[in-house]
């Protein structure tokens, strides 16, 4: 084994795949070669980004694009702008993206990129200068049929607009090279909503399957207050559920009202986040309590569903136990790798412990991000399809396609788990997602001569 720099997040993602693939690999040992090959990115780009601050001084950041796998289509995945960005994080995100994109059923490869640039405390003018400088280099390496980036943490519609404008100037092409574009200049309807809505559609299938129930009066803990969390919360409310919490990197807001969060308050929070401010800037008129520096998972005595939607490793093993104790029966990741391996073990052990569907009390049914949050990239795939045809589908058409993709994804995870993963009355969605995504990609790689 080569002596490589430690990459803890990437190693965590590879380990999870390796362990959950084992039942499949035991039956089909020839695929072990594919697992070895698929772990190495096809290409990694690293570059310098210098940009000018408002006071005229120079700032410099690291820019990256991990072009991980193109067996199923052009590299596809977001751009993260956050001070914690490094190659371990982008490799884990790019690796997960390969299998997630396969699970959408659309033709997209996997990639991820970004920069250690911190949008907080920057002016809109500085953000624009950074985006142009970042795209000056990235524009040489991407293209509508090569690599199609999008937003992610710290990169929303405003940043995608600046990056698209920069690409167009540097390359003199108006093409679908980025997704998450404005709805009036090439973007798809429902792309902003897609990840949060898709997450809720996925959990709808879990609720139906395990308990023949729906969202009505379900008490839902949500972390994060960004794109994914906001739209997940709005969809839960629309379907009759009760949103108990939202959070950010500074703390958690808990609803004091039995009705939970109000949609109008989520709109106010969206505006605060657009201005890159902390949730402490939200007044809430006495309807909420603030828990400084806390995550939501240990703050309530009872809940039914948990939707981590902020960042990786945001649920620890101890917090997973607290969720089980609070009666949480469903956990689905809006964030990528939202749960630590210890947390996944707690949920998966609870699933394995039962022997009949009559005694499912006390289990927590877990859905991994690469399945539950694939709605975002799926609608990005639909945006690419619309761009290629130079036409536009209605919001209703896109929403219907998103729903169908999430239902198919759930069924694929479930059926693959039943076919390959170790028994258990309730299937392992994490094993099902990993096996189904991997087999699809590995087969395409074999056909294309990537392994033999
Ligand atoms: P946003 O930037 O819109 O929001 C991120 C939210 O998470 C903010 O509330 C932010 O808090 C919080 N957060 C970010 N980093 C940390 C951290 N290190 N510790 C605590 N809180 C943190 O991002 P998105 O909503 O787009 O993304 C959220 C997650 O969902 C990410 O894991 C992303 O990869 C994943 N995802 C996103 C998709 C999309 O379409 N956008 C698709 C699929 C997955 P603060 O405001 O204080 O920084
Ligand atoms: O649309 C995308 O390619 C995209 C953007 C942000 C995050 C993700 C993801 O699936 O994690 C995809």
Q: 125: how many CB neighbours lie within 10 A of its CB?
A: 11
CB 104 near ligand 1, within 6 Å: no
Q: Which of 76, 91, 100, 112 is catalytic?
A: 112
Domain co-membership, 160 together with 209 = no
Starting from the CA of residue 202, give the closest ligand. 1
SS3 407: helix
Q: Which residue has the tokens 């309730």?
A: 426
CATH number of the domain enclosing 55: 3.40.50.10860
Q: How far is the CA of 26 from the centre of ligand 2 (A)?
A: 32
**Could you tell me if 228 and 139 lie in one domain?**
no
Q: Please give the Cα distance from 55 to 284 (Å, whole number).
A: 36
H helices then E strands: how many in the chain?
14, 12
At 113-130, the pLDDT tens digits run 999 999 999 999 999 999
CA distance 134 to 266: 31
Ligand 1 centroid to Cα of residue 404, in Å, is: 25
Range of the domain at 144: 10-17+28-171
Mutate to test the pocket of ligand 1, among 77, 92, 155, 226 (most ligand atoms within 8 A of CB): 226
Residues 230 and 306 placed together within one structural domain of the fold:
yes
- Integer-rounded Cα radius of gyration of the chain: 21
Rounded (10°) CA dihedral 332, 333, 338, 339: 20
Q: Is residue 5 part of a domain?
A: no
Q: Indicate whether 304 belongs to any domain.
A: yes
Query: What total number of domains does the chain contain?
Result: 2
- Split at pLDDT 50, 70, 90, the class of 358 is low
Residue 183: inside a domain, yes or no? no
Q: What is the DSSP letter of 222?
A: E
Residue 380: nearest ligand to its CA? 2
Residues 325 and 234: their CA atoms lie apart, in Å, by: 26
- 364-399 pLDDT tens trace: 999 999 999 999 999 999 999 999 999 999 999 999
How many Å separate Cα 262 from the centre of its chain?
24
pLDDT band at 3 (very low <50, low <70, confident <90, very high): low
- Does residue 395 belong to any structural domain of this protein? no
> Does residue 247 lie in a domain region?
yes
Residue 97 belongs to a domain: yes
The one-character DSSP state at 284 is G
Asked if 198 and 167 sit in the same domain, the reply is no
The answer to the question of residue 203 being in a domain is yes
Angle at 232 between CA 219 and CA 313, to 5 degrees: 85
Q: Return the ligand 1 atom nearest residue 250 CA.
A: 47
Residues 355 and 271 in one domain: yes
Last residue of a domain, one of 347, 373, 399: 373
Interatomic CA distance for residues 384 and 158, integer angstroms: 19
Q: SS3 for 161?
A: helix
Residues 164 and 297 in one domain: no
| Residue 424: pLDDT band with limits 50, 70, 90 | confident
CA of 251 to the centre of ligand 1 (A): 14
Ligand closest to the CA atom of residue 121 = 1
**Kindly report the CA angle at 81 between 409 and 77, in degrees rounded to 5?**
30
**Distance between terminal CA atoms of the chain?**
21
Last residue of a domain, one of 320, 342, 373: 373
Residues 251 and 119 in one domain: no
Decide which of 341, 373, 405 is a domain's last residue.
373
Whether residues 121 and 235 share a domain: the answer is no
Same domain as 161, residue 32 = yes
Do residue 281 and residue 233 come from a single domain? yes
Measuring from atom 1 of ligand 2, which residue has the nearest CA?
377
Q: What is the mean pLDDT of residues 41-52?
A: 98
Tokens of 166: 């920069």
Do the Cβ atoms of 418 and 427 come closer than 8 Å? Answer: yes
| DSSP string over 91-102 | HHHHHHHHHHHH
280-295 pLDDT, tens digit per residue, is 999 988 999 999 999 9
Is 321 among the catalytic positions? no
CATH number at residue 350: 3.40.50.720
Whether residue 408 is contained in a domain is answered as: no
Cα(355) to centroid(ligand 2), Å: 37
Do 200 and 91 have their domain in common? no
Same domain, 152 and 269: no
Inform me whether the pLDDT recorded for 1 exceeds 60. no
DSSP 3-state percent helix, strand, coil across the chain (nearest 5): 50, 15, 35
Residue 152 CB: number of other CB atoms within 10 A? 26
């Amino acid at each position: 084994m080569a002596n490589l720099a430690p990459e803890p997040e990437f190693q965590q993602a590879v380990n999870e795949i390796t362990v959950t693939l084992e039942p499949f690999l035991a039956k089909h040992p020839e695929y072990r070669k594919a697992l070895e090959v698929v772990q190495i990115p096809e290409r990694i780009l690293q570059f310098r980004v210098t940009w000018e601050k408002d006071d005229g001084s120079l700032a410099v950041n690291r820019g990256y694009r991990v072009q991980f796998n193109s067996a199923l289509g052009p590299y596809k995945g977001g751009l993260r702008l956050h001070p914690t960005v490094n190659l371990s994080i982008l490799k884990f995100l790019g690796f997960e993206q390969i299998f997630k994109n396969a699970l959408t059923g659309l033709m997209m490869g996997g990639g991820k990129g970004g920069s250690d640039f911190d949008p907080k405390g920057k002016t809109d003018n500085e953000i624009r200068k950074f985006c142009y400088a970042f795209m000056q280099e990235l524009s040489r390496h991407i293209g509508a049929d090569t690599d199609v980036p999008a937003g992610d943490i710290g990169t929303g519609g405003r940043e995608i607009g600046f990056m698209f404008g920069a690409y167009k100037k540097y390359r003199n092409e108006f093409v679908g090279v980025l997704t998450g574009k404005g709805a009036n200049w090439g973007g798809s309807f429902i792309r902003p909503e897609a990840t949060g809505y898709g997450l809720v559609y996925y959990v709808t299938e879990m609720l139906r399957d395990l308990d023949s129930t729906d969202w009505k009066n379900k008490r839902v803990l949500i972390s994060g207050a960004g794109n994914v969390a906001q739209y997940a919360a709005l969809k839960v409310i629309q379907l009759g559920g009760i949103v108990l919490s939202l959070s950010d990197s500074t703390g958690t807001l808990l609803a004091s009202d039995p009705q939970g969060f109000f949609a109008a308050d989520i709109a106010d929070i969206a505006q605060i986040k657009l201005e890159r401010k902390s949730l402490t800037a939200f007044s809430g008129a006495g309807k909420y309590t603030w828990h400084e520096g806390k995550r939501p998972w240990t703050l309530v005595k009872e809940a039914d569903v948990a939707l981590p939607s902020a960042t990786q490793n945001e649920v620890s093993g101890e917090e997973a136990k607290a969720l089980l104790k609070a009666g949480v029966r469903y956990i689905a990741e809006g964030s990528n790798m939202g749960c630590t391996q210890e947390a996944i073990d707690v949920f998966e052990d609870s699933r394995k412990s039962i022997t009949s569907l009559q005694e499912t009390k006390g289990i927590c049914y877990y859905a991994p991000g690469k399945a539950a949050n694939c709605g975002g990239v799926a609608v990005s795939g639909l945006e690419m399809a619309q761009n290629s045809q130079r036409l536009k589908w209605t919001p209703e058409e896109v929403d219907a396609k998103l729903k169908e993709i999430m239902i198919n994804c759930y069924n694929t995870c479930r059926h693959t788990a039943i076919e390959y993963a170790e028994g258990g009355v309730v299937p392992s969605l994490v094993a099902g997602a990993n096996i189904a995504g991997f087999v699809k990609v590995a087969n395409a790689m074999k056909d294309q001569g990537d392994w033999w």
